[in-house]
Amino acid sequence: MTTPVQTEADLTTIMKIIPHRYPFLLVDKVRDVVARESAVGIKNVTFNEPHFQGHFPGAPIMPGVTIVEAMAQTAAVLVGLSVGFGERAPLVYFMSIDKAKFRRKVVPGDVLELHVTVKRGSTRIWKFEGVAKVDGQIAAEAEFAAMIDASTQAAE
């Protein structure tokens, strides 16, 4: 009998699956996980994040690249839950980012929903579609691929 996949991940679980930490941990929670299919990450955007000091002073906007990274971190958690990454998960690396579009500013106070769908998943290579939303409006979208490197593991 197989163990059912968790349908959500809190911050403690996220930190067991991916190696990112402050100031580069860009997802606070993952919910609605359907193994090998989809998940929704949640990022509570606050003014205290370091990128807002310079992007832009007086008019803080979350950089598009960090939105795409937040989608990728959500995807890594989805993969980790789907394949059963344990305490020492292998590292996952970006391979490509395609069709990235930015449609709405993301600012402090926003709750960013990171909708990630698996387009293709194998042992090592995974491809995803991501859509980031704020209040139901699309803020960004992209397709991206990642590689699981089982020969390396995140440091403890």
Residue 94 domain boundaries: 23-149
Is residue 74 in a domain?
A: yes
Strand partners, 94: 146
Q: Looking at residue 47, what DSSP letter applies?
A: T
* pLDDT tops 60 at residue 151: yes
Please indicate whether residue 115 is annotated as part of the active site: no
Query: Which residues have a Cβ under 8 Å from the Cβ of 43 and sit 6 or more positions away?
Result: 26, 27, 28, 70, 111, 112, 114
Nearest by Cα to 41 from 30, 53, 52, 49:
30
Q: Which of the residues 20, 51, 55, 115 is marked catalytic?
A: 55
Give the number of residues written for the chain.
156
User: Using 50, 70 and 90 to split pLDDT, how confident is the model at 154?
Assistant: low
Nearest by Cα to 107 from 46, 33, 19, 149:
46
Is residue 145 in a domain?
A: yes
> pLDDT (tens digit, 9 = 90+) per residue, 98-131?
999 999 999 999 999 999 999 999 878 999 999 9
**3-state SS class at 116:** strand
What CATH number should be reported for the domain holding residue 47?
3.10.129.10
Name the least confident of 28-32, 60-64, 66-70, 79-83.
79-83
At residue 84, the pLDDT reads: 83
When comparing pLDDT for 76 and 151, which is higher?
76
Is residue 5 in a domain?
A: no
The structural domain count of the chain equals 1
